[in-house]
Amino acid sequence: MGFFGFYTSDDEKRKEEVRTGARAPDRTERKQCWDARDSYFRCLDSQNVIDALGPTGRKQAEKHCAAEGRAFDQNCAAAWVTYFKKSRVAEFKKKATLQRIEREQAGKVAVRGPGDAPAATR
Partner 1 sequence: MASSTSSASRSLSLAHPARTLLRSAALRAAAPHPHPHPQAPSLPPCRRSISSSSSSCSPCPSPSRPRPLPSSSSFRSTLAEQRRYKAKTVEEARSRNRTGPFSWKAGVLFVATGAALVWYFEHEKQRMQRKRVAEATKGVGKPQVGGEFHLVDHEGRPFDSGELRGRYSLVYFGFTHCPDICPEELDKMARMYDLVEAERPGAVKPVFITCDPARDDPATLKSYLAEFHKGFLGLTGTYEDIRDVCKAYRVYFSTPKDVKPGQDYLVDHSIYFYLMDPEGDFVEALGRQHSPEQAAKVILDHVKDWRGGWRR
Contact between 66 and partner 1 by CB under 8 A: the answer reads no
Q: Is 108 in the site for partner 1 (CB under 8 A)?
A: no
Contact in structure between 40 and 66 (CB atoms under 8 Å): no
Using rule CB under 8 A, residue 52 touches partner 1: no
First to last CA, the chain: 50
Q: Contact between 78 and partner 1 (CB under 8 A)?
A: yes
Residue 3 forms beta bridges with which residues?
6
| Span near partner 1 by CB under 8 A; candidates 55-63, 67-75, 96-104, 110-118 | 110-118
Beta bridge partners of 6: 3
Contact assessment for residue 78 and residue 39, using Cβ atoms and an 8 Å cutoff: no
- Is residue 73 within 8 Å of residue 16, measured between CB atoms? no
Least separation, in Å, of the C-beta of 3 and partner 1?
A: 18
Residue type, 59: K
Total residues interacting with partner 1, rule: CB under 8 A = 22
Q: Which amino acid, residue 107? A: G
Of 2, 8, 12, 21, which lies in the binding site for partner 1, with binding defined by CB under 8 A? 21
β-bridge partners, 39? none
> Looking at beta carbons only, is 9 or 121 nearer to partner 1?
121
Considering only 3-11, 24-32, 40-48, 100-108, which stretch makes contact with partner 1 by CB under 8 A?
24-32
Q: Does 34 bind partner 1 (CB under 8 A)?
A: yes
